[in-house]
């Protein structure tokens, strides 16, 4: 919704095509699909600078190793949402990005959560 109200460019990377399809359907159902590019990929090859990135890539070391590439594609003052921050490796990789951690979001009523990180330049 934020993207549609602020004309942001949103890019979402996920290694699971099934989740990409679910996300595309949800966005289309809510008339938000024109603001978001969803890439099912095993690598990160940004095509445009994004104002907001949803980082819910394949779990494990690949997610951690490729996170800086996605972050590099983030516009100055852009925001990146990193899912599954309860994982020590993901949290360490996120903290190494150097952005300002601006908010955490609990998910599913468990100890799983994501966080929003803002890139310098605002």
Question: What is the percent of the chain with per-residue pLDDT over 70, rounded to a whole number?
Answer: 83
> Over the stretch 24-60, which tens digit does the pLDDT of each residue have?
898 889 887 777 778 777 776 666 788 888 887 766 6
Instruction: State the residue for tokens 């190793």.
Output: 65
Dihedral class, residue 97 (left if φ above 0, else alpha if ψ from -120 to 50, else beta): alpha
The number of domains in the chain is 1
Query: What domain range is 46 assigned to?
Result: 2-118
> Over the stretch 2-12, which tens digit does the pLDDT of each residue have?
666 767 767 77
Measured in degrees and rounded to the nearest 5, phi and psi for residue 41 equal -155, 155
Residue 12, domain CATH: 3.40.50.150
């Amino acid at each position: 919704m934020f993207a549609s109200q602020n004309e942001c460019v949103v890019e979402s990377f996920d290694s699971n095509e099934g989740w990409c399809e679910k996300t595309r359907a949800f966005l289309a159902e809510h008339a938000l699909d024109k603001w978001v590019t969803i890439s099912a990929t095993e690598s990160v090859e940004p095509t445009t600078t994004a104002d907001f990135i949803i980082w819910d890539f394949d779990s494990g070391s690949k997610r951690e190793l490729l996170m800086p590439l996605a972050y590099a594609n983030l516009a100055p003052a852009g925001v990146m949402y990193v899912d599954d921050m309860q994982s020590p490796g993901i949290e360490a990789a996120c903290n190494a990005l150097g952005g300002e951690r601006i908010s955490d979001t609990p998910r599913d009523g468990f100890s799983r959560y994501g966080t929003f990180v803002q890139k310098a330049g605002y």
